[in-house]
Chain A
């Protein structure tokens, strides 16, 4: 019976690439790939040739030369003696800052608005509908400009805080000033600061590292305490009291760090033209952040609403039948299931928000589009190079966000066993 299972001798001939259905699709795909690559290559080659014909070859050397311009908001050390590459980094950090703040705020606001839009309370549901429709249907740029214009025109200039009978007074018990340039708030300063750690490209604040370390350490200790209490409860049936240990673990280290660094509250003061001391949050950042948040949250609200609506009504009825209150039903039964539907489109919204943050130039917030793609581009005239780097930057940010969110998505998605 061997003759039946005997395969024909696998003698591969070139013609099989076309006539054999097993190989044909590979052949076609390969040819198309080659054509696409050749097409792209031709375009790039054409561009490079013509650029060099105009005497403007591609050259990234400008990145290491002195930038010569100042940036008003710098998260890490930067002066006008720094290089263009460093200005790029500063812009990147500013982009990441506003994108991070925007994503967090938009998620919180979006979930609230989405849930409330389904509320049985007629007024609440309608208010949320109006919010979503108004923000979703007006271009983001207009929102950014409008919020910025409101800040600029309505809030007083720092000058108005001057004199015996000033036109404007400081808010929050005389510690914070809302001006049409920035919001100046009190901020901690350290009398015996731990200084900076020089890592070549980035300087890391040791103060910040210590504070973050204390917070993370506190959380980890607290988690360990709770786990241990659970183990004891399993074994003995008695749960030891952990509340005072938790409080100690959570707040103890941070208080110690603050005391050791000599923390002191610094209240902003009007000196010369502007407020000095404390923390100044520029209006361009706040306007951009607010607009990005409100705009993206309206989309997230719709995604959340769709996610909740996608859950079978039987789920909430079952939860009610078990005696769960509406709030707990939402938190324990509906939302965890809705997350599976919500997360994939939510990732797109995060990506959109990050890319939309490039509208920062409209309010003079120097993000990566403003530094590398704005001032550096203008001062060096290296448009193609700067745009290429800019595209790569946004691509890298987006892919990173995507990858991170996909990992989270995998952890909440329906696990079929």
Chain B
């Protein structure tokens, strides 16, 4: 153990030396020269990022990786997916092993500032919830006094849980687990009464159960968890590329651009907003070091935000999440992208 830590420290030394040496070149140049985008994703959370039966990564987070790769490299398949645990994800990003982290990570003040990362946007507005077995007869999180709760270590949920129980004058016993799969196993075996994580994660976990109908997600959402992609602090150009790729996917839904009609719209749309976004009129891409059709390729990769949502985690999928806060601002949601001009 000690040995491996020592070697780890040595490796970190050399890695940091490498990162510092690479500071002269931008992430964009590095990615282009490599020809591949290293994208940090979850080790396996159905709907968000998980390999399918053929070993191809699929999911809501994966779609953003693909969109960025399409925008930057022109090919949505040029992505190397690096599975990261909740414990090592930020080190993986700051050390330069990945260019982009899309791993249901909550945007918080200290992560943004102290850990020297930049969250460039929010791709899913989430909140922490609880899942319990139906036959437990619990209908509110306020009834969980004295319960044993499974929780993934190294996440903001750990702190929220402590705060929530303290605020409500309740006690609990935490069963700390390392990965979502382990939590699932403990929860199913009854080693904990409740499982807590982001509500979207709970829905995804429940979808993979043999008997999803016997489990309920309690109505209380005890925290704000804006999940978003993060990049290293200091390379604003790369941050802008990821931010505006995400914005392009959201704007595409707002303007009604889908993967089906995108070619037609690019050729014939008279809407100046659409023309600017798809590069039919202005060359917005050049302002951040990309070509004219970056957004068109990004949207084509897996469709607009709404299409991605419905295909991976939407109500038609086993995960069955409603749009809720993640609807367009015109539909009463929080998705609101700044104008493309």
A181 within 8 A of B: yes
Verify A46–B13 contact, CB threshold 8 A: yes
Complex: A380 Cα to B190 Cα, angstroms: 31
A391 within 8 A of B: yes
In chain B, what residue has the closest Cβ to A53?
A: B20
Q: Indicate whether A384 sits within 8 Å of B177 (C-beta atoms), given known contacts A68-B159, A69-B158, A152-B186.
A: no
A346 within 8 A of B: no
List of B residues within 8 angstroms of A70 by Cβ: 161-162, 172, 174
Verify B16–A47 contact, CB threshold 8 A: yes
B341 within 8 A of A: no
A131 within 8 A of B: no
Verify B162–A69 contact, CB threshold 8 A: yes
Verify B147–A390 contact, CB threshold 8 A: no
Q: How close is A350's CB to chain B, nearest CB, in angstroms?
A: 15
A364 within 8 A of B: yes
List of B residues within 8 angstroms of A394 by Cβ: 1-2
Verify A80–B166 contact, CB threshold 8 A: yes
Q: Which of A52-77 contact B (CB under 8 A)?
A: 53-56, 68-72
Verify A273–B174 contact, CB threshold 8 A: no
- Among B90, B175, B190, B191, which residue has the most Cβ atoms of chain A within 10 A? B191
Say what secondary structure dominates the interface of chain A.
helix
Verify A276–B175 contact, CB threshold 8 A: no
Task: Choose the segment among B107-115, B202-210, B273-281 that binds chain A (4+ C-beta atoms closer than 8 Å).
Answer: B107-115
**Size of the chain B interface, CB-CB below 8 angstroms:** 55
Q: Indicate whether A364 sits within 8 Å of B147 (C-beta atoms), given known contacts A55-B116, A152-B189.
A: no
Complex: A230 Cα to B23 Cα, angstroms: 81
A387 within 8 A of B: yes
Q: Which of B134-173 contact A (CB under 8 A)?
A: 136, 144-148, 153-155, 158-159, 161-163, 166, 172-173
A358 within 8 A of B: yes
Verify B20–A375 contact, CB threshold 8 A: no
Verify A272–B145 contact, CB threshold 8 A: yes
Residues of B within 8 A of A (CB): 1-2, 5-6, 8-10, 12-13, 16-17, 19-20, 23, 86-87, 90-91, 94, 110-111, 114-116, 136, 144-148, 153-155, 158-159, 161-163, 166, 172-178, 185-186, 189-193, 233-234
Residues of A within 8 A of B (CB): 43, 46-47, 49-51, 53-56, 68-72, 80, 152-153, 157, 159, 180-181, 271-274, 276, 283-284, 355-356, 358, 361-362, 364, 366, 370, 374-375, 377-381, 383-384, 387, 390-391, 394-395
